Amino acid sequence: MNKHVQIKKDKLIWKFSFYGLLKNLRFFEPYLYIYFLNLDFSLFQIGLLLSIRQIVVYLTEIPSGVFADNYGKKTSLLICFISYLISFVFFFLTRTFLIAATGMLFFAIGEAFRSGTHKSIIYSYLEEKGWFNLKTYVYGRTRSFSLIGTSLSGFLSIILVLNIPNLKWIFLITMVPYILDFFLVFSYPNYLNEKTQTSFNLKKFFKLLVSNLKSLFSKKLVKKYLLNSSIYDSIFKSSKDYIQPIIKNIAAVSGIYIIGSYTQEENMKILLGLIYGFFYIFNAIASRNSYLFQKKFKSSKFLNISFDLMGFIFILLAIVTKFNIVPLIIFLFFIFALKRNIRKPMVVDVFGNITEKNERATIHSIDSQLRSIFMVFIAPLLGFFADNFSISTAFLIFGVIIFIINIFLKKD
């Protein structure tokens, strides 16, 4: 039987796919900035919340990766979902910046224990089945389910936000798919936990941590592609949800009506839900077919090309945002997200090729940790420029910075 057909029929691959779908049912995502703006938080304060999240991820990312590699990947994922659920309770209770920051702390712990861990579980399973050379195809396929989850989340969130008394209830509703995902991960076979240590010893843990870091950072290619991936993603994650305040501002000035019987605020929520929903339908298709791009572009080459394209998109966004051209704003954010989801499986492919088996969860954790470091500065800086000048000016400044950074990243 053809390997691609076997992969499509494999029960555990289906579980991996539904893990991503449930994980991405974040019904709050299209409205997170709106939620904080409605609490009178500034864009700078929202940037600070993202920084707090990334600082905590920075402090816990590599240790959590080493924990997963040595004390159990499945165990690490179960810890992550418990942390996410706690964070949603705090977001629901948010009245002040301090409560929101506490929610971000627990959310960050969840992110740290999750990032890279599920990818390394997939790597291990593919090696056992003799499918490791198809990792781009498999990861693109499983990631497409994650994006389908985000798309469903966008559409379902419209129904939810129009029928709940307050946006805060969206966080409690989000707990349902996360509880389901906890039990799905719990059902994974125990051999995928891959414990190499039977008991936790702090001294031994730090020895393993130092050993893994030395091994990874001794490789020139690893350092180069870690920077490429982490800087790109830090800029993407810091800016991708700016479509929310942009649409909110335009709606306040000119009015956007999709359904005449609803208020302007409700129409804005409908539009944002539709934007996120349709964005991720196409992103799911892009992710599933990213292996086709790999036939035309070598993964490492595409990482460099897509970096420059991001700078170009930022400059175009600066122009169309300045003149409030809504269709082009939506289109450019669509291309921005689409390109990233073609790129992501290629990052996984590159990392899989340049690391050893016992380093895989760790390299993804280092990637995420470096992203955290950069986001600590990028998110509030972008917010500062947006608050004190304009969002379009902030985009223009960052577009120029992106081109300059990639000049150095492309050097051997």
Model confidence pLDDT, tens digit, residues 98-151: 999 999 999 999 988 887 788 888 888 888 888 877 777 887 788 788 878 888
Of 360 and 379, which is predicted with more confidence? Answer: 379
C-beta of residue 61 within 8 angstroms of C-beta of residue 372: yes
- Give residue-wise pLDDT tens across range 215-273: 666 666 777 888 888 899 999 989 988 988 888 877 665 555 556 566 777 788 888 88
Q: For residues 49 and 237, give the distance between their C-alpha atoms in angstroms, rounded to a whole number.
A: 13
CA end-to-end span of the chain, whole Å?
Answer: 42
pLDDT for position 173: 96
Supply 133's token pair: 């050379």
pLDDT at position 202 over 70? no
pLDDT of residue 126: 85
Q: In this predicted structure, what is the pLDDT of residue 226? A: 85
Q: How confident is the model at residue 92 (pLDDT cuts 50, 70, 90)?
A: very high
Return d(Cα 408, Cα 412) in angstroms, integer: 9
For residue range 375-384, list pLDDT tens digits in order.
888 989 999 9
- Asked if residues 385 and 394 have their Cβ atoms less than 8 Å apart, the reply is yes
Measured N-to-C along each axis, helices 117-129 and 11-23 cross at an angle, to the nearest 10 degrees, of 170
Centroid of chain to Cα 143: 11
pTM for the whole thing? 0.70
DSSP annotation string for 316-335 = HHHHHHHTT-HHHHHHHHHH
In this prediction, residue 357 has a pLDDT band, given cuts at 50, 70 and 90, of low
pLDDT digits (tens, 9 = 90+) for 145-170: 887 888 899 899 989 988 888 899 99
In angstroms, the CA 61 to CA 368 distance is 7
Q: Given this model, what pLDDT does residue 205 score?
A: 60
Least confident span in 71-80, 292-301, 324-333:
292-301
**Which residue ranges form the domains of the chain, and what is each CATH number?**
21-190+206-409 (1.20.1250.20)
Side-chain-facing half-sphere of 410: CA atoms under 13 Å: 14
Q: Assign 213 a pLDDT band (cuts: 50, 70, 90).
A: low
Distance CA 217, CA 367 (A): 12
pLDDT for 53 equals 87
Given this model, what pLDDT does residue 214 score?
66
Largest CA distance in the chain: 64
Q: pLDDT band at residue 388, thresholds of 50, 70 and 90? A: very high
CB 228 within 8 A of CB 409: yes
Contacts of 28 (CB under 8 A, 6+ apart): 35, 91, 157, 167, 170, 171, 174
Record the tokens describing residue 377, joined without a space.
Answer: 């500065």
